[in-house]
Amino acid sequence: MLTDDELRQLLDALPERGPRSRLDPFRELIMEMRRRRYSYRDISRFLIERCGVGISHNAVRNFINRHCAPASEGRPVRASEDQRTWNAVEPTLPAPSATEQPQAVRERIEALKRRTQSGPAPDPGFRFDPSEPLSIPED
C-alpha cells in the first residue's frame, strides 16, 4: 500500500492535461455569442468561417450544456432538473399488465376496427382498372 507522501509524489509527477474539447479555447466567445442570442448554427458557422474550427451546431449545443454555465446562469435546464413530467396526459385506457397484454392489444385493435369514420370517404381522384393504365378522370 502506498503512503500519502508517495501518492502525492505520483500525482505531482503527472503532466497537466490539455483541454478536453476543441471548443475550450473559444469558451468565452461562445458564451458571449449565446448571451447576444446567436443560434447554435450561427455560432458553428462563425467558428468554421472565422476560427477554422470545423464543428457542428449540435456539438456547440452539447459543449454549452456540459461545460459552460450552471443552471443559475441561464443554461437550459434539463427535464429532470425542473421536474417536468412528459406523461402529464393520462391515457384513456389503462396500460395492461404483462400477462394480459396480448388480449388487451387485440381488444383495442378490434375496437379501432369497429369505429366508424365521420363523414363520407374522400374521393381519391382516380379509379383503378387493372386492364387499363392508371389515369385521372376528367370530371
Tens of pLDDT, residue by residue over 96-110, are: 555 556 788 888 888
Residue 42: CA atoms inside 13 Å, Cβ hemisphere, count?
A: 11
Question: Quick check: is 118 in a domain?
Answer: no
For residue 101, tell me if it sits in a domain: no
Number of domains in the chain: 1
Structural domain span for residue 49: 21-72
Q: Per the domain annotation, does 100 fall within a domain?
A: no
Residue 45 lies in a domain: yes
Is 131 among the domain residues?
no
Provide the CB-side half-sphere exposure for 111 (13 A, CA).
7
Q: How confident is the model over 65-124, as pLDDT tens digits?
A: 887 756 544 445 444 444 444 444 444 555 555 555 678 888 888 888 887 766 666 666
